[in-house]
Amino acid sequence: MPQVYFLCTGNSCRSQMAEGFARQLLGPTWRVASAGVETHGLNPQAVRVMAEVGVDISGQTSKLIDPDYLVHCDLVVTLCGDARDRCPVTPPSVRKVHWPLADPAQATGSAAQQLAVFRQVRDQIRQRVAHLAQTLN
């Protein structure tokens, strides 16, 4: 069974959202996971904006990169420069893709403005995962 890994710094927002969309769009023929070079806990705003589009990520947890899972992946997607730069070395057989997306957890302004950033990043991730699903399936 092919597998994909979504990586970001703290595995709290972007990679969690990507995992949620990939589970939905890639279906049961793919193993899907996310992780971080650190663990920052699942961000409640990420859970909230995903629920708005019908994807429940509330049961997911923030995890560190699993080296065994990583080296057996068909595809690794990094969602920030930090994860790309700090990702452990993978075999040449692992395809790597980088999606440089803003960290919604760093958004400033009012609560509504911050939530708008989470929604914008969520929508960018959904579009990229949908395109990925079309090319992989």
| Active site (annotated) includes residue 87 | yes
Which residue, chain included where needed, has tokens 């959202």? 17
Cβ-proximal residues to 48 (8 Å cutoff; 6+ apart), any chain:
115, 118
Q: Which of 7, 8, 25, 57 is catalytic?
A: 8
Task: Give, for 123, the enclosing helix (H) or strand (E).
Answer: helix 111-136
Helices and strands (DSSP H and E) totals, the chain: 5, 4
| Active site (annotated) includes residue 80 | yes
Chain Cα centroid distance, residue 113:
22
Q: Which of 13, 87, 105, 121 is catalytic?
A: 87
Which residue, chain included where needed, has tokens 């420069």? 81
Q: Which two tokens stand for residue 102?
A: 């803003």
Q: Which of 80, 83, 101, 121 is catalytic?
A: 80
| Active site (annotated) includes residue 73 | no
Tell me if 14 sits within 8 A of 37, measured CB to CB. Answer: no
Catalytic residues: 8, 80, 87
